[in-house]
């Protein structure tokens, strides 16, 4: 633990040194601005003044991937990550299955999506697109709140025989809040009740002006049943992706975001992750959330073992020491010692967070000091 002078701490907090001395006096400590205080006391002071606790030495015990920026010349084009959103039963999974050319719907209990699926397809032209199928918008919002913005493009699925439903509107709002471009897929085009123009008009009320209404939001009529419109949808995704110039450095230690995780009776903790940058390799030592581990094996969405995973590829990772949470970041580190150190620090921090639910008051501080 590092010591810091009261004045140095005051400078970092942009507070007056004298105010810190006063606060310390109330905490029963007589010090001058030039004296040093220990880290725990410093943290109490920071809390008291309402600043975020940012340990002086946090970089030694934790990893901040946001701080580690790749040089522009290392960046290469990566596949877009597309999230399908829309109202219950509007045909999200069916559309995704049609896009994959396979049928998972029949494998799902009652046809309802049980979890987030992540898949990558190769188009006729050889381009790769990663799709995420969400069970609801909570997952999307929760991940965004946790700073895990993995989605590049949202496909808003609206059943053309129905209308804009509550979750359609929710999806619109979440997408807007995330600042992610949207493509509207009006689906079930094969149904006699299909009235896409009605949908386009209703979308106007939510400030979504689609191409067919001379706006700039791409829209397409599709049918998961007949396959109509799928090629156009893929074209539109690729066009949008091209405009966005999505890039990542593939030649570095990987970081990835957890899409879902579970405990498998036979295999142990399993996490489906999406590679943000770098290439994840079998044997890599990693930290994910509060857990450490080593990549024992990786499976792609077709259940095939892969040795390496480049940016935008979703893979299931085996070898993590516990079950992480959706939205957690997976980071590759250089040694097991380092992995355990970071995971241990995060566990401590998580425990401390749970136990310090009460707001910082003088009484709390006294009891905390004991
Ligand atoms: P949840 O995951 O439960 O929110 O549903 P979902 O949005 O994934 O919808 P799903 O793909 O499970 O489809 C719901 C129902 O609509 C199923 O009975 C599908 O067979 C049907 N359906 C989906 N797409 C089409 C389509 O293009 N045409 C027709 N005729 N039916 C469709
Ligand atoms: Mg579904």
Who has greater pLDDT, 149 or 147? Answer: 149
CA distance 289 to 322: 10
Who has greater pLDDT, 132 or 82? Answer: 82
- Whole-prediction pTM value? 0.78
pLDDT of 28-58, one tens digit each?
888 999 999 988 888 888 888 876 555 545 6
What pLDDT does residue 53 have?
Answer: 55
- Provide the terminal-to-terminal Cα distance of the chain, rounded to the nearest Å: 18
Ligand nearest to the backbone CA of 160: 1
Which atom number of ligand 1 is nearest to the Cα of residue 191? 30
pLDDT of 192-219, one tens digit each?
999 999 999 999 999 999 998 999 999 9
What pLDDT does residue 360 have?
Answer: 46
Which of 111-115, 202-206, 239-243 has the lowest average pLDDT? Answer: 111-115
CA distance 306 to 298: 5
Q: What are phi and psi of 308, to 5 degrees?
A: -135, 150
pLDDT at 366 over 60: no
What pLDDT does residue 368 have?
Answer: 42
Joined tokens for residue 96? 């995704």
Q: Is 310 in the pocket of ligand 1 (CB under 6 A)?
A: no
Mean pLDDT of 135-147: 64
What pLDDT does residue 351 have?
Answer: 79
Who has greater pLDDT, 296 or 25? Answer: 296
Cα distances from 306 to residues 243, 278, 283, 330, in angstroms, run 30, 15, 12, 18
Mean pLDDT of 353-366: 50
Mean pLDDT of 56-71: 72
Mean pLDDT of 160-185: 92
The rounded Å distance from CA 237 to ligand 1 centre is: 21
Which atom number of ligand 1 is nearest to the Cα of residue 157? 7
Which atom number of ligand 1 is nearest to the Cα of residue 97? 11
Q: Is 112 in the pocket of ligand 1 (CB under 6 A)?
A: yes
Residue 101's pLDDT band, with cuts at 50, 70 and 90, is: confident
Residue 349's pLDDT band, with cuts at 50, 70 and 90, is: confident
What pLDDT does residue 52 have?
Answer: 58
Strand pairing category for 218-221 and 182-187: parallel
pLDDT of 271-307, one tens digit each?
999 999 999 999 999 999 999 999 999 998 878 899 9
Q: Is 218 in the pocket of ligand 1 (CB under 6 A)?
A: no
Which of 61-70, 132-141, 327-336 has the lowest average pLDDT? Answer: 132-141
Choose the catalytic residue: 51, 115, 137, 291: 137
What pLDDT does residue 367 have?
Answer: 43
Residue 89 annotated in ligand binding = yes
CB-based contact 187:93 (threshold 8 Å): no
Who has greater pLDDT, 102 or 94? Answer: 94
Q: How would you class 96 by CB atoms within 10 Å of its CB: exposed for 0-12, middle for 13-18, buried for 19 or more?
A: buried
Residue 327 annotated in ligand binding = no
What pLDDT does residue 1 have?
Answer: 53
Active site annotation includes 206: no
Mean pLDDT of 327-351: 90
Residue 138's pLDDT band, with cuts at 50, 70 and 90, is: low
Who has greater pLDDT, 90 or 364? Answer: 90
Residue 59's pLDDT band, with cuts at 50, 70 and 90, is: low
Q: Is 113 in the pocket of ligand 1 (CB under 6 A)?
A: yes
Q: What is the mean pLDDT of the chain?
A: 85
Mean pLDDT of 102-122: 58
pLDDT at 104 over 70: no
Q: Is 87 in the pocket of ligand 1 (CB under 6 A)?
A: no
- Whether the predicted interface score ipTM is above 0.90: yes
Q: Is the dihedral of CA 350, 355, 359, 362 positive or negative?
A: negative
């Amino acid at each position: 633990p590092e010591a810091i002078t009261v004045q140095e701490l005051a400078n970092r907090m942009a507070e007056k040194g004298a105010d810190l001395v006063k606060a310390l006096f109330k905490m029963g400590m007589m010090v001058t601005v030039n004296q040093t205080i220990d880290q725990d006391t410093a943290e109490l002071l920071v809390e008291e003044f309402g600043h975020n606790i940012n340990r002086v030495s946090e970089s030694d015990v934790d990893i901040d991937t946001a701080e580690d920026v790749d040089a522009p010349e290392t960046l290469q084009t990566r596949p877009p990550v597309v999230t399908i959103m829309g109202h219950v039963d509007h045909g999200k999974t069916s559309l995704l299955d049609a896009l994959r050319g396979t049928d998972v719907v029949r494998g799902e209990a009652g046809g309802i999506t049980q979890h987030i699926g992540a898949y990558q397809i190769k188009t006729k032209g050889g381009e790769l697109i990663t799709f995420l199928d969400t069970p609801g918008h909570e997952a999307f919002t929760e991940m965004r709140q946790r700073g895990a913005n993995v989605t590049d493009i949202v496909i808003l699925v609206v059943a053309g025989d129905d209308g804009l439903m509550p979750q359609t509107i929710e999806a619109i709002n979440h997408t807007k809040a995330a600042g992610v471009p949207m493509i509207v897929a009006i689906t079930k085009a094969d149904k006699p009740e299909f009235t896409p123009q009605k949908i386009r008009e209703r979308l106007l009320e939510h400030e979504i002006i689609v191409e067919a209404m001379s706006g700039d939001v791409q829209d397409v009529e599709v049918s998961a049943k007949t396959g109509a419109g799928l090629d156009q949808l893929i074209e539109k995704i690729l066009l949008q992706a091209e405009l966005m110039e999505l890039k990542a450095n593939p030649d570095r230690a990987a970081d990835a975001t957890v899409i879902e995780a579970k405990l498998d009776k036979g295999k142990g903790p399993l996490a489906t992750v999406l590679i943000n940058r770098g290439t994840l390799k079998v044997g890599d030592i990693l930290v994910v959330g509060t857990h450490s581990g080593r990549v024992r094996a990786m499976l792609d969405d077709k259940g095939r073992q892969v040795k390496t995973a480049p940016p935008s590829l979703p893979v299931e990772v085996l070898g993590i020491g516990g079950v992480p949470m959706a939205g957690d970041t997976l980071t590759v580190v250089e040694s097991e010692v380092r992995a355990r150190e970071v995971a241990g620090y995060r566990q401590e921090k998580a425990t401390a967070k749970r136990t310090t639910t009460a707001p910082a008051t003088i009484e709390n501080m006294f009891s905390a000091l004991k």
